[in-house]
Structure 1
Amino acid sequence: MRALICFAALLLTGSAAFADPPKLAVFDFELIDTSLPGEFYGSKPEEARLDLISEQLRKALVESGRFQLLDIAPVRDAARHANLQACGGCDLKLAGQLGADLEITGMVQKVSNLIINLNIYLRDVKTGNMITAASADMRGNTDESWTRTMSYLIRNRLLAPNYGKP
């Protein structure tokens, strides 16, 4: 366990001793919409926002230089038809098919237009161990609130120099 924590700390600080950055698969974010409007009218605006924040995360991770981002296109369809948060490890299997060292899944839980939670999970593909999880609540269901929340998690959790250090 201590080795995993050290690995995560080194990875997230950018000083890991990799010849090349680790290969990372970032799956599209999923939505759990338990809001009343979502039940009646569907989640159309949120579905577009899922794509928006998924791409925002990918772009930031590539720009950080800490990861080699893999194209998930070969497994995207299978991932979209699975609930990656509750499929018993199918996310790891799909990431493994891509040759990933690490994988990120994410979920947005919408209770109402004023109560929304964004979650990011980074896992080691070979061991299945959770390296880190990041979560933030947002108030307001707009493109701006979603992208600002994602920016916060990237800056203050995933890429923060001291996040995850023992």
Structure 2
Amino acid sequence: MCAAACAALLAAGGAGAAERVAVFDPELYDTSGEGVRDDQQKRLAMIGERLRAALQDSGRFEVVDTAPVRARLQGGPSLRDCGTCAPDAAAELGADLALVTTVHKVSNLILSITMALREAAPGGGTRAVHSAEIRGNTDESWNHGLRWLLRNRLLAEQAPGQNQPSR
């Protein structure tokens, strides 16, 4: 699935103008039972900022400001549970794509970062879903997971000779 999704991203990026993407604030899905922690909230903000910067700096994407819809979206439901919320909000913001990032915390040792790249409404189709398992609930482990996803999935270079799908 990744090869096709990465190729689709590259095809879009190589077609000329950068695609406009709404990168929504990362959400924590905590099934550890531990509850809200300030350090984790800071890490969510940190990876959101770094993700936006990396996508913008890549030249493949133009990151649109999500501030106009932030308060409404924070009122729920979570973006991971609402199939139309992110694509609708992305369309409202004039974006082509919506990127929803969820950090699933099972425990302080076992976490995962999942990113879902979706077409903006009215289509709303899923373009790609990428996930990385991380070990440890630290700034370094979260950054490592984000860097891996960027390097190996979202911004991965297409292998030579790999065909790009038609759009």
TM-score scaled by structure 1?
Answer: 0.86
Structure-1 separation of matches of 2:45 and 2:75? 15
What corresponds to 1:47 in structure 2?
Answer: 41
- 1:19-34 to 2 correspondence within 5 Å? 20-34=17-31
Structure-2 separation of matches of 1:37 and 1:64? 36
Post-superposition Cα deviations, 1:18-44, rounded to whole Å, max 9, x if no partner, equal 3x2111100000011111322xxx232
Q: 3-state SS of the aligned residue for 2:150?
A: helix
Between the aligned residues of both structures, percent identity stands at 44
Residues 89 and 142 of structure 1, relative CA distance in 2, 3 Å threshold? same
State whether structure 2 residue 145 is matched by structure 1 residue 157: no
Structure-1 separation of matches of 2:82 and 2:9? 26
Structure-2 separation of matches of 1:26 and 1:12? 18
Q: Is the 8 A contact 1:122 1:130 kept in 2?
A: yes
Selected match of 2:15 from 14, 17, 24: 17
Post-superposition Cα deviations, 1:55-86, rounded to whole Å, max 9, x if no partner, equal 11000001100011101110111122221111
Residues 133 and 113 of structure 1, relative CA distance in 2, 3 Å threshold? same
Q: 3-state SS of the aligned residue for 1:37?
A: coil
How far is 1:102 from its partner? 0.8
Structure 1: any 5+ residue segments left out of the alignment? Answer: none
State whether structure 2 residue 87 is matched by structure 1 residue 92: yes
How far is 1:16 from its partner? 3.2
What corresponds to 2:137 in structure 1?
Answer: 141
Q: Is the 8 A contact 1:12 1:158 kept in 2?
A: no
Structure-2 separation of matches of 1:92 and 1:57? 18
State whether structure 2 residue 113 is matched by structure 1 residue 113: no
Q: 3-state SS of the aligned residue for 1:112?
A: coil
- 1:56-75 to 2 correspondence within 5 Å? 56-75=50-69
TM-score scaled by structure 2?
Answer: 0.86
How far is 1:11 from its partner? 2.9
